Amino acid sequence: MSVGRVRHRHGHGEAGRPHRGRRGFLAGVVLMAGSFLVYPAYPVLVLWPATDRARVEITLVGAVLSWAVFTVGLYLAGRRGWVWLRRRWKSHGPRPMPPPPSVTP
């Protein structure tokens, strides 16, 4: 029996790979959430005083950078972080309406 760091199997990587820890989880969740900040910036590009080509290039760079940051965050936080973030995101959305009562003639 070994003494020291507990090793976990996460379904990816080699067996016995140590967990990335709480800092990796939090950094990953922050990166995933931060990657969505590019979307509110897209309307600003409509008013940006630049050529059409520059606007398209800036938009594409923003989209690629957003996905890259999200991917790094997903790697750091893992599936657990993605599920945690998704639950928080959906809990702040509109609540589903109950079905209307059935009317029988």
DSSP 12-71: SSSTTPPP-HHHHHHHHHHHHHHHTTHHHHHHHHHH-SS-HHHHHHHHHHHHHHHHHHHH
CB atoms within 10 A of CB 6: 7
The answer to whether residue 53 sits within a structural domain is: yes
Give the C-alpha separation, 70 to 92, whole Å: 20
Kindly list the averaged pLDDT for each block of 10 residues, start to end, along the chain of length 105. 52 50 82 87 81 88 91 86 78 63 62
Q: What is the pLDDT of residue 21?
A: 72
Give the C-alpha separation, 41 to 52, whole Å: 16
The answer to whether residue 11 sits within a structural domain is: no
The answer to whether residue 65 sits within a structural domain is: yes
Domain that holds residue 43: 31-90
Q: What is the pLDDT of residue 66?
A: 92
Give the C-alpha separation, 77 to 15, whole Å: 18
Residue 55, token pair as written in the block: 């606007």
The answer to whether residue 50 sits within a structural domain is: yes
How many domains does the chain divide into? 1
**pTM of the predicted model, to two decimals?**
0.59
The answer to whether residue 36 sits within a structural domain is: yes
Q: What is the pLDDT of residue 19?
A: 52
Q: What is the pLDDT of residue 22?
A: 76
Side-chain half-sphere CA neighbours of 60 within 13 A: 6
The answer to whether residue 25 sits within a structural domain is: no
The answer to whether residue 67 sits within a structural domain is: yes
The answer to whether residue 4 sits within a structural domain is: no
